[in-house]
Structure 1
Amino acid sequence: MSGLTVAVEADGGSRGNPGPAGYGAVVLDIDSGDVLLERYASLGTTTNNVAEYSGLIAGLTAAAELGADHVAVRMDSKLVVEQMSGRWQIKNPGLRPLAAQAATLVAKFSSVTFEWIPRERNKLADALANRAMDEAAGKPVSSAAVDLDVTTEPKRERNWAPPSLDKATRLILVRHGETAMTQQGRYSGRGDVPLSDEGEAQAMAAAGRVAGISRDVAAVVSSPLLRCTRTAEHIAAELGNIPVTVLPELIECDFGDWEGLTFAEVRERWPEQLDAWLDSTSVAPPGGESFKTVSKRVRGAMATLLSAYPSSVIVVVSHVSPIKLVLRDALASSDAFLHRMFLDAAGVSTVDMWPDGGIAVRSVNETAHLR
């Protein structure tokens, strides 16, 4: 078994059934049991089962944010475990949309297992669910949550006011400068092609734009390919020669047999495979890598950076596919975004992220510095 494996423990409750409800979910390191992420929220007035499914959805979403490949779900809801395992029918029409949403999340992982556990083994998630209900009712935090040292921050308020940058981690996403392949509109994945002369100039211009956004940069990280590391070197030099860190997970998608070809050439030789690839992120080019696979490693890289550089500014130099995937997730967009969004060589995008899951996309594909 390869890739990140986590446990998700989830719970939900309703004081009245239906009544004031809330859910809680924790993502745990499968070996150490350490808590990696926590989620909880109130749901207004609803039923126990709706709250339990909501906890599952929150836990699976959090596991996906960490880039997990394998998930072991543990819940004390026999109903949810049996229905998600396919052994019980979902007779309540009100639960079917929630089960479908959970199933869509399950499909994003390489494997997901479901296990029923007694309530006394689900104390963390139970405490979070009760905390959500207590806070919604204006009550002091329950003693169970205090005893368990639960420190998850409250759910962010939704409003139109500019979000405070307190505790935010800012990602400045930079696509590498132009190469000969870029000029010719060819698929350029794992081939290690250098920047063209124009690409060198673009990289220096991007460095100036990054410095204009922030000179207080904690790290410059890059894909291992030359076109990115060279772009990153220009940025690091502009920022005072700070080190460039190579992060292998930021490498471009492997386009396999399509490497070096134009879209028209691929259309002529692999028409059916191209249509299938355009229709689904789970489909890989012949001999290559699917966007779903790329997404998993890129999410893992983002989780690593957010953990290593909290409340900091990070410059991420990568390629079209990884940057599009980060922006897709940040904008809560569909997979169609990947084939509709254009990213210029040396374009700059800025995303702010908070520990409680809040996200603000500040800019996408800035190019004014290239004119």
Structure 2
Amino acid sequence: MREFIVEADGGSRGNPGPAGYGAVVRDAATGETLAEAAEYIGVATNNVAEYRGLLAGLRAAHALDAGAAVHVRMDSKLVIEQMSGRWKIKHPSMKPLATEARAVFPPDQVAYEWIPREQNKHADRLANEAMDAGAKGRQWSPSESRAALDTPPAAPEPSGPPGDAAAGAAKARAALAEGRTAGPAARPVAAPAEDDIEAEAAREAQAEAAVAGAAAVGDAAAAASGRVAEAESTRQRPSTTAPGADAATAGEQQLPSTPGWSAAPDLGAPATLVLLRHGETPLTPQKRFSGSGGTDPALSAAGREQAHRVAEALARRGTIQAIVASPLARTRETAEIVAARLGLHVSVEGGLRETDFGAWEGLTFGEVRERHPDDLNAWLADPEARPTGGGESFAETAVRIAATRDKLVAAYAGRTVLLVTHVTPIKTLLRLALGAPPESLFRMELSAASLSAVAYYADGNASVRLFNDTSHLRP
């Protein structure tokens, strides 16, 4: 069995502030550098950036050899202890990242070790290069990777697309051997005490709260009362209002074409995902759970009328260049009605499917409360909890949706694509774009056949352009 060493780091200039990560994969036997990855990720905290670095390193190692044994070395005691299973992951921004990292390799193939910061210089340097690139309005490129002081100047640099760990793993073979972190024997450095890490975690929680801003305040228990209905995908970590009801519309105002202040660099045309929730089905007005694990209802007559109305609205706007739909019947039917009006083809993407609600499929919220109260309470309180009968947790859904988002943003760079999907995927995309915690999903109203939109820029930042627009449904 092959053995790899993965070293990863992340940083934030401000915590929260402009953040980036770096990761390197080495051959454990020879010390040869096999791959490098780095990326500027916009505004984030130190710990989130560190988790992103870990994930990139694991993915790069997996691209090299999925059957390899992996030894992860990081100077973040918090990440190492949490990924080793010795400390509980409490913060909602880190849980999905940790879940995603654990899914890259089987657990018995990965070991974790804390190392002092001076032994993690290679990954630290890459993270800083990524942040430097972000400050200049662009992403890190392997050509920017500077040779370490003890690396011969003639050592070739790795090549590959910016920040693409898989491509780097395939091409970056030639340079930067063990000497990048080696050097004169250093005095052993003790790992941080648990009390210090607790303090760090508290500071990180405050920083994350700053990133989320005014996002989710309130009582989850109140959200779980009778108002949480429209389980028909409104069960979005629990949606607290009935998405079937109209909310104030966002209109069709045009927002600035670049994120942030007017002095921001020109990042080119973004990939814009226009998010359309499918029209009503017979289960929608009954407020029943309708995910991807039970029956697959078609649109009702009201739902088909909604689809025709949104098709006319999108035709007037004239901005949609492609259509991608969830594989479920209600989304494909909605998408085909819109596509016929716009003269476009519908592509199907499995990652856009609704959450699997297990044994709750077809039940009302009240029925679930009566039959499975303990499971429901756990599900309302913890994004990693699954519905009764082995459904899908919201943490698992978030991992799936994030991967699907990344694929679609890459495929439709500079274009506007309509995604016809469900409440859970749409709310998750919006939550991730805002950097908001899972509980923010309680605070979102999302009506049947509503439109939302998110633009994704080359620097990794996202701009929410529209939310729950239902103006096209009014007579």
- CA distance in structure 1 between the partners assigned to 2:57 and 2:312 by the alignment: 36
CA contact (8 A) 1:276 1:283 kept: yes
Counterpart for residue 372 of structure 2: 270
Q: Secondary structure at the match of 2:432?
A: helix
Q: Secondary structure at the match of 2:359?
A: helix
CA contact (8 A) 2:9 2:120 kept: no
CA contact (8 A) 2:327 2:348 kept: yes
CA contact (8 A) 2:10 2:52 kept: no
Letter in 2 for 1:252: E
> Which residue of the other structure, out of 53, 59, 66, is the alignment partner of 1:59?
53
- CA distance in structure 2 between the partners assigned to 1:321 and 1:236 by the alignment: 23
Counterpart for residue 9 of structure 1: 8
Counterpart for residue 109 of structure 1: 100
Q: Secondary structure at the match of 1:108?
A: helix
**Matching of residues 94-243 of structure 1 within 5 Å:** 104=95, 107-109=98-100, 111=102, 113-114=111-112, 123=122, 126-130=125-129, 132=131, 144=147, 147-148=157-158, 158-159=260-261, 166-190=268-292, 191-217=295-321, 219-240=322-343, 242-243=344-345
| Cα deviation digits, residues 62-81 of structure 1 (max 9, x gap) | 78999x9x996855x5x436
- CA distance in structure 2 between the partners assigned to 1:333 and 1:87 by the alignment: 22
- CA distance in structure 2 between the partners assigned to 1:177 and 1:366 by the alignment: 13
Displacement of 1:54 in angstroms is: 7.7
Q: Does 1:319 align with 2:422?
A: yes
Q: Does 1:84 align with 2:80?
A: yes
| Cα deviation digits, residues 34-83 of structure 1 (max 9, x gap) | 7676237899xxxxxx98x68524525878999x9x996855x5x43697
Letter in 2 for 1:188: S
Displacement of 1:84 in angstroms is: 2.1
Are the structure 2 counterparts of residues 36 and 203 from structure 1 closer, same or farther at C-alpha, using a change threshold of 3 Å? farther
Q: TM-score, normalised by structure 1?
A: 0.71
> Which residue of the other structure, out of 432, 449, 457, is the alignment partner of 1:329?
432
Counterpart for residue 39 of structure 1: 40
Counterpart for residue 367 of structure 1: 470
Displacement of 1:209 in angstroms is: 2.7
- CA distance in structure 2 between the partners assigned to 1:224 and 1:188 by the alignment: 14
Q: Secondary structure at the match of 2:448?
A: coil
- CA distance in structure 2 between the partners assigned to 1:235 and 1:65 by the alignment: 37
- CA distance in structure 2 between the partners assigned to 1:207 and 1:185 by the alignment: 25
Counterpart for residue 25 of structure 1: 22
- CA distance in structure 2 between the partners assigned to 1:150 and 1:129 by the alignment: 19
More strand by share: 1
Displacement of 1:257 in angstroms is: 1.1
- Structure 2 residue runs of 5 or longer lacking an equivalent are 1-5, 28-33, 85-89, 103-109, 137-143, 149-155, 164-257
- CA distance in structure 2 between the partners assigned to 1:11 and 1:337 by the alignment: 25
Deviates more, 1:252-261 or 1:333-342: 333-342
Q: TM-score, normalised by structure 2?
A: 0.57
Letter in 2 for 1:9: A
Displacement of 1:189 in angstroms is: 1.1
- CA distance in structure 2 between the partners assigned to 1:125 and 1:199 by the alignment: 52
- CA distance in structure 2 between the partners assigned to 1:289 and 1:13 by the alignment: 32
Letter in 2 for 1:114: Y
Q: Secondary structure at the match of 1:233?
A: helix
Deviates more, 1:205-214 or 1:261-270: 205-214
CA contact (8 A) 2:42 2:461 kept: no
- What is the percent sequence identity of the aligned residues? 34
Letter in 2 for 1:224: P
- CA distance in structure 2 between the partners assigned to 1:268 and 1:159 by the alignment: 51
Are the structure 2 counterparts of residues 351 and 171 from structure 1 closer, same or farther at C-alpha, using a change threshold of 3 Å? same
- CA distance in structure 1 between the partners assigned to 2:397 and 2:434 by the alignment: 18
Q: Secondary structure at the match of 2:388?
A: coil
| Cα deviation digits, residues 256-280 of structure 1 (max 9, x gap) | 1111111111111112211111111
Letter in 2 for 1:317: V
Are the structure 2 counterparts of residues 113 and 364 from structure 1 closer, same or farther at C-alpha, using a change threshold of 3 Å? farther
Letter in 1 for 2:273: L
Letter in 2 for 1:108: T
Q: Secondary structure at the match of 1:195?
A: coil
Q: Secondary structure at the match of 2:39?
A: strand
- Structure 1 residue runs of 5 or longer lacking an equivalent are 1-6, 15-20, 44-49, 89-98
CA contact (8 A) 2:455 2:463 kept: yes
Letter in 1 for 2:332: T
Q: Secondary structure at the match of 2:340?
A: helix
Are the structure 2 counterparts of residues 151 and 367 from structure 1 closer, same or farther at C-alpha, using a change threshold of 3 Å? same
Counterpart for residue 253 of structure 1: 355
